[in-house]
Amino acid sequence: MLDKKDVQWWVLEAQKHPESATDLIRMLADRLAFLDKQNEELRGELIALRRNQRPEGSNAETAGLQERIRELELALRQGGTGQQLLVYAEDRIESIAPLKTTQAEGLGRALSDGVSMLVCYPAAKLLIITTESQVFSGSLSDLPVPQDGPAMLGNPRNVAAILDQAAFERCRFLTLLTRGGYVYSLLAGSVSTIAKRQDKLVRNMIPGDPVIAAIPSYNADLFAISQKGRWIRFPEKTIAGAGSLVMELPKGDAIAGIVPLNQDRDLIFLSTDGKLFVRPSHDLKNRRTPGTSGGMLFKSQTILGVAAADEIAILTRQGKVLTVRSSELPFKAQTETGAPLPGLSAEDSILTFTAY
């Protein structure tokens, strides 16, 4: 799977950082196992398509699967060393750099509000979704590369979210969240078709209520948390075709984050003052439909967002990239006090984070 240069890189990293050698090996093994599984599944689908020999559409589907297999084989050859960190805002690209470099050295400059981040591979195929729900397809190499400062975007404008299309290999749906707290659910297949036309995903959006997030989902449960700590969990299939309000919130509160749940697992919450909290999702019971809060999960914290992941990358205002694993968080993260984010200095603050 790996050539000599890849192996040598990992050996050198282990020699430089012996205290992290175990983590490096685990990360490489996990990534290779995942990519190998995806590769085998796609090969199985390709064989099935060839056996079926359907007269219409089979050529296009087969070609698409063959292209994805080539991408996975490239990622396998990279051996997990090529992950890139993309930092972007509505009108600009702040940074495109190797994840490992940014973890070690940071971005080298301070950042302003309104940025988001994505971890992907150099060959990643992307979906770019605007605040008006218009969707574009492209690749990481299509984006302008920042030099001594941000690189401004010409078109598309007003970017709300950039996604790695590889996410839809596991998540066959897409959930859009608006600033006013409305959600819309779409089939991933329809999203790809609409992206080819560079059209809008939702034509009946409420005027003045822009898209602020796009989340690959499973058509299972969705969990949402507000800035003031109110929460709800409901089936994605209960979202109305014209969109549904996640939950009624009092003035001064807003949805802070939403994540898909296809199974019960630990949720990581991050507050604006740099505290980490972990809560098991099985303690947060499902409601039949969106609209009504399940109660207050946090009463004295302002919540920045939530992740249903084992590991998250956090971006600070000073351009530092901090990583956290839920399994390594101290017991305090399970209490009302929370655990301080390791590596966050007193003069710094959190801008955004992402699961990867």
- The full set of domain ranges for the chain reads 4-78, 84-355
Contact assessment for residue 260 and residue 220, using Cβ atoms and an 8 Å cutoff: yes
Q: Tens digits of per-residue pLDDT, 101-153?
A: 999 999 999 999 999 999 999 989 999 999 999 999 999 999 999 988 999 99
Which ranges of 153-281 would DSSP assign to H, the alpha helix?
188-197
Residue-wise pLDDT tens digits, 54-67: 554 456 556 666 66
Angle, CA 228 vertex, CA 256 and CA 350 arms, to 5°? 55
Q: Is 19 exposed, middle or buried (0-12, 13-18, 19+ CB in 10 A)?
A: exposed
Tokens 């603050």 found at: 349
Please give the pLDDT value at position 350. 97
Query: Among 67-76, 172-181, 205-214, 311-320, whose mean pLDDT is lowest?
Result: 67-76
* Residues 44-54 as b or e (16 or more Cβ within 10 Å = b): eebeebeeeee
Looking at residue 86, its pLDDT comes to 98
Q: Determine the pLDDT at residue 68.
A: 60
> With 50 as the cut, is the pLDDT of residue 78 above it?
no
Report yes or no: 182 and 209 within 8 Å, Cβ to Cβ: yes
Rounded to two decimals, the pTM is 0.78
Mean pLDDT of 332-356: 95
Q: Reply yes or no: is the peptide bond before residue 340 cis, omega within 30 of 0.
A: no
Please say whether the structural domain 84-355 has been given the CATH code 2.120.10.90: yes
pLDDT band with cut points at 50, 70 and 90 for residue 51: low
Q: What does the chain come to in residues?
A: 356
Residues 63-72, mean pLDDT to the nearest whole number = 62
Which one, of 90, 46, 51, lies nearest residue 70 by Cα?
A: 46
Calculate what percentage of the chain has a pLDDT beyond 90: 72
Q: What pLDDT, on the 0 to 100 scale, is given for residue 13? A: 66
